């Protein structure tokens, strides 16, 4: 019984997540959703592996409030992201823009996939070629086969 109760608790706790709540007054619910989503998409410059909403650091708090303010002022997501990158560089973005320095990052998965497909096609083509050669009997093989069959018939 205890075990069951425990596993239920574990299961329930998996779906629970604490989230930073700031007492910021938004004009409407849409603004709040947009602001929080945007803050979540930006990386905290100090803690590196947390976004602005997850991090407790004072700088993340300030930046979060800054994002909220800008949303409240009616700035678009792109404008806000531009303000952030003008200060902290592309570092704050989880999804870096396509540039010369990030080309490898963007192209590698596609490149590897193409390479894999290419290798696969080559392999399959070669295999089917081989099979054709195998199934078609040469003149000599056919003669030998006929002889063998004839011998077999004679035995019976």
Chain residues that interact with other proteins, rule: CB under 8 A: 45-46, 48, 58-59, 62-63, 66, 85-89, 91, 104, 108, 112, 115, 119, 122
Kindly tell me which of 36 and 92 has the beta carbon lying closer to other proteins: 92
Q: Computed over its alpha carbons, how large is the radius of gyration of the chain? A: 33
Q: Give the nearest distance from C-beta 3 to other proteins in angstroms.
A: 43
Kindly tell me which of 8 and 107 has the beta carbon lying closer to other proteins: 107
Q: Give the nearest distance from C-beta 115 to other proteins in angstroms.
A: 7
Kindly tell me which of 28 and 101 has the beta carbon lying closer to other proteins: 101
Q: What angle do CA 94, 27, 61 make, to 5 degrees?
A: 40
Q: Give the nearest distance from C-beta 63 to other proteins in angstroms.
A: 7
Kindly tell me which of 20 and 59 has the beta carbon lying closer to other proteins: 59
Kindly tell me which of 1 and 119 has the beta carbon lying closer to other proteins: 119
Q: Give the nearest distance from C-beta 87 to other proteins in angstroms.
A: 4
Q: Give the nearest distance from C-beta 120 to other proteins in angstroms.
A: 11
Burial of 65 (0-12, 13-18, 19+ CB in 10 A): middle
Burial of 54 (0-12, 13-18, 19+ CB in 10 A): middle
Q: What is the maximum span of the chain, computed from C-alpha positions, in angstroms?
A: 100
Task: Report which of 22, 141, 68, 12 is spatially closest to residue 4, judged by C-alpha positions.
Answer: 12
Burial of 11 (0-12, 13-18, 19+ CB in 10 A): exposed
């Amino acid at each position: 019984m205890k075990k069951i109760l425990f596993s239920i608790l574990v299961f329930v706790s998996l779906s629970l997540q604490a989230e930073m709540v700031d007492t910021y007054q938004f004009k409407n619910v849409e603004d709040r959703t947009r602001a929080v989503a945007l803050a979540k998409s930006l990386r905290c410059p100090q803690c590196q592996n947390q976004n602005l909403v997850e991090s407790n650091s004072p700088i993340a708090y300030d930046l979060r409030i800054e994002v909220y303010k800008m949303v409240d002022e009616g700035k678009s997501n792109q404008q806000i992201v531009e303000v952030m990158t003008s200060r902290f560089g592309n570092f704050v973005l989880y999804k870096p823009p396509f540039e010369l320095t990030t080309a490898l990052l963007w192209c590698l998965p596609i490149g590897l996939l193409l390479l894999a497909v290419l290798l696969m096609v080559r392999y399959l083509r070669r295999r089917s070629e081989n099979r054709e050669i195998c199934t078609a009997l040469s003149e000599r093989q056919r003669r030998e086969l006929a002889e063998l069959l004839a011998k077999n018939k004679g035995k019976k």
